[in-house]
Amino acid sequence: MSIIKTKNLVKVYSTGLMEVRAVDNVNLTIEQGEFTAIVGPSGSGKTTLLNMIGGLDRPTSGEIIVDSMDITQLSQKQLVDFRLKNIGFVFQSYNLIPVLTATENVSFIMELQGREKREIDARTKEILSDVGLADRLMSRPAQLSGGQQQRVAVARAMASRPQFIIADEPTANLDSKTAEKLLDMMTEINKKENITFLFSTHDSRVVSKARRVIVLEDGKIVSDERK
């Protein structure tokens, strides 16, 4: 079952007298449960494409259909609500709230969604245990290593069981061993919970774990292969 579909997606940036087509007529379908890497050189349009699919940026033209809804037609307020309920985000800079513990960082999104405290507490403990942080529930980001912070970020993204997770260069700030562990963990959770992962990456380790690899060049898809 497809959960994301882009139709003739275009993003043009104007810089003075020049126009740059960062994403150029992209047609793409992502199926439920896929573990997909979008790769390409810097400036190929990877992050721009993900930002549009995630509702963080609006296209110049084209459609983005998520669960039969064209999110390009939503108002800014509707987009915020849509992201909150449907998408998990993992960034290379972790983006944790410094004053909150690991538990509080993970539960925060579910609290915004208005879920019951009992459900929030149970899911938070479950997901932090799944990412190997059962013993660091009350640690704040400054008390955690980079790898542990990124695990909290992944747990936060997955806690509310979103339709899909967008991960923009999630291993960029991690050493090789830590990156491998994080990827193995995300692979296991993808299989266990059937949550769709969509990566933007330069990392060959992510590419090797992905079951589908899409290559972008100059904003166009030049290759799309399933393993």
State the pLDDT confidence band at 18, using cuts at 50, 70 and 90. Answer: confident
Per-residue pLDDT tens over the stretch 162-181? 999 999 988 888 888 888 88
- Residue 99's domain comprises 2-226
- Classified as helix, coil or strand, 139 is coil
> Which H or E run contains 82?
helix 76-86
Q: How many domains does the chain have?
A: 1
The closest of 121, 61, 57 to 89, measured between CA atoms, is 57
**Residue 94 CB contacts under 8 Å (≥ 6 apart), including other chains:** 141, 146, 149, 150, 152, 153, 173
DSSP conformation class of 159: H
Q: CATH number, domain at 164?
A: 3.40.50.300
Per-residue pLDDT tens over the stretch 133-168? 999 999 999 999 999 999 999 999 988 889 999 999
